[in-house]
Amino acid sequence: MTVKSICMYIALVIFSVFITGCASEFTNFTPTSGDICTEVTIMREGGHRFGTHIVEFNGVRSLDIRLGPRSESNVIAVVPPGATTGPVTIRQNSGMGMFIGMLDSDTYELGNFTVTGSPAVPNITSFNAVPEEIDEGEASTLQWSITGTTTHLELNSPESETIDVTGATSYTVAPTHTTNYRLTAVNKCVTETDSVTVLVNETQALPEIEDVDAGFPGESVTVHGNNLRYRPRDDRPYVESSLIFAQGGTSYSPVVDSSPRDRELNGDLPEAINPGAATVRARVGTLESEPFDFAVAGRENGSFQNVTLQITGSHTCTSGSIVRTLEISGDGEERTANFEEGGSRLWRESFHLGTSNTGAGFSGDCMHGVIVGQNTSVTDNKFVMHVRDLAAGRTRVSETSLGQGVQVLFSPDDSVVLYKAQDDFRGVGFAVIHLYDMRDHSVMPDPGPGNSCTACNSLSARVVNYRDVEITFDGDDYGPYHIE
């Protein structure tokens, strides 16, 4: 302990001794009888005014205590509701024990106070809100009726200051959320309280979508955004939240999320929706978000379509809003294929007619152009094949040394090309099959079969489970080959 600390401690001890030596003595009080709420003055002889006081009337503690005028040093206490005739006790705490840890409390039991009666308790006969339920931004009028004497009337809520409404019979409020109001009627020191709740239906915000995590058709999807669930107030259930998917002019039945979150909705994609571009809207109650564009994972199920190769004439391919034309010109073995859209050239390429399956044509969705011709730069009867993305103006597949009997097929959404040609290393009656993923622009492992074939033109394929290719060739099945 430092010298300074020792000095301070000694000073506190000396001051405490002084205070103790000047301790108060409470001797009597006036008046000695009266009603509940009567102010009773307890006289002090000598002593000091420091510390706090606790006054009880026959064991019931007064909640309204104050010091009298400084010149008198008395304590004034109000007879509390519930008090009965009996002794008055007062306890004074000097407040010094907290510093030096010594006893500093004195209790005095004085004479009896006789309770002669009590002011009448005010009677709140009614307290209600009109209307009891409002929408956010509207107002409600609190109305009440009171009988009996009321000296003071106040209104409050847990989130507002106390409002003095003495003499009034109503008050208008406009809470922003469900709020409980308490009315307190006072007659001197006795009170009566009542409460009423104004139910507020909070304004619903428009739902909005920020992101979509989508899987394959029929599988789970998660939508992220704001205001994706709503209930008018805490005592009401949430309104229905659902997802509405649309694709190519078809709107599917709403997918309800039974456990919505403020920023997330979950569900399953419709079984009938196809991989590719789609939209989704969030519907919360009667409000809907703007459509949000997203992509359904996977590839469109269904059979591959064989490309019909043309060697002459004009041909039109239509798919949705896409209209493209193919004009084949030339005579003899030299031909030129000209692909156009709206009068604008997309691709122009010359090819040489061969002894088997040559020409030009479209994929099923008109997205790609195909040209197959005989390679005149070699002498061993090889064939060339080009597959071009007409919109992007890029060649995706280019083969310059295929065997005879070239056959080209596209998956239903044009995302995978399958082609077959004779395997010249083994000779006639043998064939090799190739797969190319147009979406990933990658060559897939050759399915084969690389074996002999009796019906060498019987190639077919299909997409299943939105992610696998199954192939049938010459009566044998191959795959599935994963194209996710």
316-335 mean pLDDT = 93
3-state secondary structure of 22: coil
Same domain assignment for residues 31 and 132: no
Q: Per-residue pLDDT for 118 more than 60?
A: yes
Question: For 17-21, 33-37, 261-265, which range has the lowest pLDDT when averaged over its residues?
Answer: 17-21
Residue 100 has pLDDT above 70, yes or no: no
* Residue where one domain finishes, among candidates 156, 185, 201: 201
Q: Does one domain contain both 320 and 443?
A: yes
Q: Answer yes or no: do 190 and 264 share one domain.
A: no
Q: How many domains does the chain have?
A: 4
Task: Quote the pLDDT of residue 425.
Answer: 60
Could you list the residue range(s) of the whole structural domain that residue 18 is in? Answer: 3-117
Query: Which tens digit of pLDDT belongs to each residue from 61-97?
Result: 999 999 888 667 789 999 999 999 999 999 987 654 4
Q: Do both 216 and 74 map to the same domain?
A: no
pLDDT at position 376 is 72
Among candidates 158, 163, 162, which has minimal Cα distance to 179?
158
Cβ atoms of residues 404 and 356 within 8 Å:
yes
Q: Is 196 helix (H, G, I), strand (E, B) or coil?
A: strand
Residues 224 and 195 in one domain: no
Which range has the top average pLDDT, 12-16, 46-50, 343-347?
343-347
Q: What is the 3-state secondary structure (H, E, C) of 202-241?
A: CCCCCCEEEEEEECCCCCEEEEEEECCCCCCCCCCCCCCE
> In angstroms, rounded to a whole number, what is the distance separating the alpha carbons of residues 227 and 207?
5
pLDDT interval class at 401 (50, 70, 90): confident
- Pair 97, 159 in one domain: no
**Which of 322-331, 441-450, 453-462 has maximum average pLDDT?**
322-331
* Polymer length of the chain: 484
Supply the pLDDT for residue 16: 46
The verdict on 94 and 8 lying in the same domain is yes
The answer to whether 309 touches 383, Cβ cutoff 8 Å, is no
The amino acid sitting at 444 is M
Q: Please give the Cα distance from 162 to 141 (Å, whole number).
A: 17
Average confidence (pLDDT) over 290-301 = 94
Single-letter amino acid code for the residue at 274: N
CATH code, 261: 2.60.40.10
Do 186 and 213 lie in a common domain? Answer: no
Domain identity same for 177 and 217: no
| pLDDT of amino acid 444 | 73
Could you report the per-residue pLDDT of 460-480, keeping only the tens digit for each? Answer: 999 999 999 999 988 888 889
Looking at 201, 230, 264, which one is the last position of a domain?
Answer: 201
By percentage, how much of the chain surpasses pLDDT 70?
86
C-alpha gyration radius of the chain: 47
**345, two tokens:** 């050239």
Tokens of 5: 């600390």
State whether 82 and 156 are in the same domain.
no
More confident residue, 261 or 158: 261
- Phi and psi, residue 21, nearest 5°: -70, -25
In this prediction, residues 21-26 reach a mean pLDDT of 62
Q: Do 468 and 348 share a structural domain?
A: yes
Q: How far apart are CA 484 and CA 480, in angstroms?
A: 12
Average pLDDT along the chain: 87
> Rounded distance, CA 56 to CA 52, Å?
14
Among 69, 93, 117, the domain boundary falls at: 117
215 and 185 in a single domain? The answer is no
* Joined tokens for residue 429: 């009656």
Mean pLDDT check: name the lowest of 285-289, 319-323, 414-418, 445-449.
Answer: 445-449
| pLDDT of 303 strictly over 80 | yes
